[in-house]
Amino acid sequence: MLNKYARAFFTRVLTPFAALLLRLGVSPDAVTLIGTAGVMAGALVFFPMGEFFWGTIVITIFVFSDLVDGNMARQAGISSRWGAFLDSTLDRVADGAIFAGFVLWYAGSGDDNVLCAVAIFCLASGQVVSYTKARGESIGLPVAVNGLVERAERLVISLVAAGLAGLHKFGVPGIDILLPIALWIVAAGSLVTLVQRVVTVRRESAEADAAAAASAAADRGSEATQ
């Protein structure tokens, strides 16, 4: 849901920056790789230490590379299947690193097995939600559904909550509860989204199979009358 509006807004805002990087000779693929490395560093270095505020700041800076690299490719007229593949693949890596950072915190100093399990579910369900759409499209289905909690929602909910929860170390009382709440919301929303996509793929596949069967029957009828 957020993808539709937020992506268009930030694409316009970041267009001049993308143009500057092109003039400096930076390639879109380099931006993709650097952005993913920055997100992973922010998540896997800061989050396991409980430094959620600074970790979120680092991740937020680098996560915008997901918009910059595509913008650069379009401006330069070099959009390619490889670039799209690399971008989508590394998006999954970055998303996994963010939730892995939460897992490491709750498995270690955070000392909460339940929230560790919830974070693991968020990590796994996020990957599966993305896979269901990719797999459905790979077998020729449109997978025409806007899920309740897609990638943008997962990132915004988790990172905003983590950043605010990190203010607990600056003396803001009680605010650290926001991260557990956010993880439960993302887990529940991801489950709903997964069900939405599975149901959609089942319906679309049944419709496609029925249409194919009807077309085959019509062809056989046409051959029989000849």
Return the active site residues: 91
> Would you say 194 and 129 are in contact if contact means Cβ atoms under 8 Å apart?
yes
Any known ligand binding at 69? yes
Virtual torsion, Cα 114, 120, 121, 127, nearest 10 deg: 170
Virtual torsion, Cα 132, 135, 141, 147, nearest 10 deg: 20
Any known ligand binding at 74? yes
Any known ligand binding at 112? no
> Would you say 13 and 40 are in contact if contact means Cβ atoms under 8 Å apart?
no
Any known ligand binding at 91? yes
Structure tokens belonging to residue 38: 């920055």
Any known ligand binding at 201? no
Any known ligand binding at 80? yes
Any known ligand binding at 70? yes
Q: Which residues contact 150 (CB under 8 A, 6 or more apart)?
A: 1, 2, 3, 129, 193
Binding-site residues: 29-32, 66, 69-70, 74, 80, 87, 91
Binding-site residues for a CDP-1,2-diacyl-sn-glycerol: 29-32, 70, 74, 80
Binding-site residues for Mg(2+): 66, 69, 87, 91
